[in-house]
Chain A
Amino acid sequence: MNAEQRDTLLRAMLEELVGKGYGEASVERASEAAGVSAAEFEAEFDDMDDCLFAAYDFLTERVVAKASADCDQAAPWPARVRAGLESLLQAVASYPEMARALTRAFPGIRPAAYERYVGLLSRFVPFMREGREYSGVDEELPGEVELLAVGAAEAIIFGEVDAGRAERLPQMMPEILFSILVPFMGPERAADEMRSAAMSI
């Protein structure tokens, strides 16, 4: 199968997972949607799980790449976080089914799948490290502050996706931004950034 067929197959497999559930998801339907034969599928993947894990990795790579690609590397860290967040929320709002695959349908399969989700959150941690330079206090911030910030944003995003309100997320960008920035910059400066972001919407 060519690269385009592979991408289509991976997407179709995730759509199967979200639409039908793990027990009813069909390799045959996904393969048909991608124009892939059974032999081609078997040459590429061991089984449905192998394909689903590859699909999840494919999706998470795109999400992380999308969030980082729209950041102007010369901009100050809070502005880069805002740009990355804006881009991520737009993507989630545009593809709510894929967001559901990302947050719920795939991680729910089994613990090994859930570990991929934990791994996805960890991928955003390095983007947060520079936030320490924006601290309003001289003392060292707690060791886990980066994941605490990522998890704060995830809690809001997950809640909206899960409630079927992913389309609201771009409007919620300022308050999600506040939750990311507040452990690094404190509530007053994080609120300033939030207000500035709200004015841009």
Chain B
Amino acid sequence: MVSTGNDVLATSDRDRILQAMADCCAEFGYLETTVETVLERAGVEAESFESLFAGKEDCALAALNKIVSETLAQISMAQVNGEDAIGRRKFEGKAILELMAARPSFVRLGLVSARQCGTPHMHDAYESAARVLALMMERLAGSTERPGATARAAFGGAEAVIRRELAAGRGSRLPQLLPDFVYAVLVPFVGQGEALRQAKLAARVTAEEE
């Protein structure tokens, strides 16, 4: 289908609104963010908002979907260079952290507002995304027996560090923490020796990038 001028304009308005929603939630919190503040920040008319979203929650959910879709796309496009399942994780992690560094407001919307500060629907969206990532990790366990919440907990550890960095305004530093995150998500499944080896390789990947 060929895009018309109106389609392009609508897409542009939508992106501006989603960015403004993420920024306002990061600055004021979801509770104190209003549609009016979002519109003012986005520089978009109310009619445009109303044609795209049913309300504040719908808009926040769309912003969440945007960051989840982008994250999954980053994972699928990560340059894995023929690595095995364990080795691939550091490249996928690198791709995710680079996206997070570029989109700190959206990440905060997902890991802070949706998890602890938003509506039940937002929380469900957060939980669904977290479950997908945990399932990806559980595949590493193979036949090794681990407690049921192991993968979820390992991601929880990484999330705590990410939230602390975001709260301190250090989102751009996240890619440098790749070795720590690689270690955390791998160690329950592959042991300390292999997790540290992969963390060192991850440090090399990060250094090469710099």
Query: Which positions in A face B, CB cutoff 8 Å?
Result: 22, 103-104, 107-111, 113-115, 117-118, 121-122, 135-137, 139, 141-145, 147-156, 158-159, 162, 172, 174-176, 178-179, 182-183, 186-188, 190, 194
Contacts and interface: CB of A to CB of B under 8 A. Distances in A.
Contacts of A172: 149
Given A22-B31, A117-B116, A156-B152, A182 B188 contact: yes
Nearest to A115: B167
A107 B191 contact: no
Given A109-B31, A151-B158, 18 more contacts: A22-B31, A110-B32, A114-B167, A142-B179, A142-B183, A144-B161, A144-B184, A148-B161, A152-B160, A155-B149, A162-B123, A176-B149, A178-B146, A178-B147, A179-B150, A182-B150, A183-B187, A188-B191
A149 to B, nearest CB: 6
Nearest to A23: B31
10 contacts: A107-B116, A108-B31, A111-B28, A111-B167, A148-B180, A151-B158, A152-B154, A178-B146, A179-B147, A179-B156
B130 to A, nearest CB: 9
Nearest to B164: A118
A187 to B, nearest CB: 5
A15 to B, nearest CB: 19
A109 B29 contact: yes
Interface stretch (B49-57, B64-72, B80-88, B192-200): B192-200
A80 B154 CA distance: 21
Interface string B123-156: 1000000000000000000001011111011111
B91 interface: no
B15 interface: no
A159 B30 CA distance: 20
Nearest to B191: A186
Contacts of B103: none
B104 to A, nearest CB: 13
B17 interface: no
A182 to B, nearest CB: 5
A113 B117 CA distance: 10
Contacts of A187: 144, 146, 187-189, 191
A114 B29 contact: yes
B96 interface: no
Contacts of A162: 123
B186 to A, nearest CB: 10
Nearest to A182: B188
B177 interface: yes
A109 B188 CA distance: 35
B152 A144 contact: no
With a 10 A CB-CB cut-off, give which of A108, A114, A148, A162 has the most chain B CB atoms.
A148
Contacts of A113: 29
B112 interface: yes
B153 A186 contact: no
A156 B157 CA distance: 10
A143 B161 CA distance: 11
